[in-house]
Amino acid sequence: MTKEQFSSPRLTASTDDFYLGDGGREELVAALNELLEAERAGAKVALASTKAAGDDFASLMRQVRDDEAHWCAMLDRQIRRLGGTPSPVTGAFHAKALAIADPLERLAFLNRGQGWVVRKLDELLPRVRDDALRADLQAMADGHRANIAIAAAFGGNEASGQLSAK
């Protein structure tokens, strides 16, 4: 591959030049679908959690839900742009999180899920060649880091998302 091919800003969905993985576009779409399923689960957990405690907690959960929904829409759009089909599945994280009755324990679990997403994005980003997709995924990672910090401040250290445990 030439340097020009690697840095070309004219990549389209008809090429397999989006991703440095062995599986090309299919591998990338699979990774994005895994993230979509996790984001959908997080959005549903946050929505269900708005009823779990006081106004401040509900406000935090609405903020998290709005962010998760935003990233679901972005992932759906990018998957379609790559010629893939967005997964309709909600990740197993949803049922596991809703089984936790205590709101702060659920928040800590949700934040660990946010940390998992950041780790997955950090693994994926260096392999993404497409500038628009890379920018969206970087913004998603940054948004999750911000949410982790906000939730950790709200719920204490147990809600830190364990970003350092890579």
Can you read off the two tokens belonging to residue 94?
């949803």
Confirm whether 32 is domain-assigned: yes
Domain span at 77: 19-159
Confirm whether 80 is domain-assigned: yes
Can you read off the two tokens belonging to residue 62?
């609405």
Q: Is 62 exposed, middle or buried (0-12, 13-18, 19+ CB in 10 A)?
A: middle
Identify the three-state secondary structure at position 88.
Answer: coil
Q: Categorize the per-residue pLDDT at 22 as very low, low, confident or very high, splitting at 50, 70 and 90.
A: low
The CATH number of whichever domain residue 24 belongs to comes to: 1.20.1260.10
Confirm whether 11 is domain-assigned: no
Strand boundaries in 58-98, DSSP class E: none
Confirm whether 7 is domain-assigned: no
**Domain count for the chain:** 1
Can you read off the two tokens belonging to residue 85?
């089909």
132 Cβ contact list (under 8 Å, min separation 6): none
* Residue 47, amino acid: L
Confirm whether 132 is domain-assigned: yes
Confirm whether 165 is domain-assigned: no
Residue 33 DSSP class: H
pLDDT at 163 over 70: no
pLDDT digit string (tens) for 55-113? 888 899 999 999 999 999 999 999 999 999 999 999 999 999 999 999 989 999 999 99
Q: Is 39 exposed, middle or buried (0-12, 13-18, 19+ CB in 10 A)?
A: buried
pTM over the 0.85 mark: no
Confirm whether 10 is domain-assigned: no
pLDDT at 153 over 80: yes
Confirm whether 69 is domain-assigned: yes
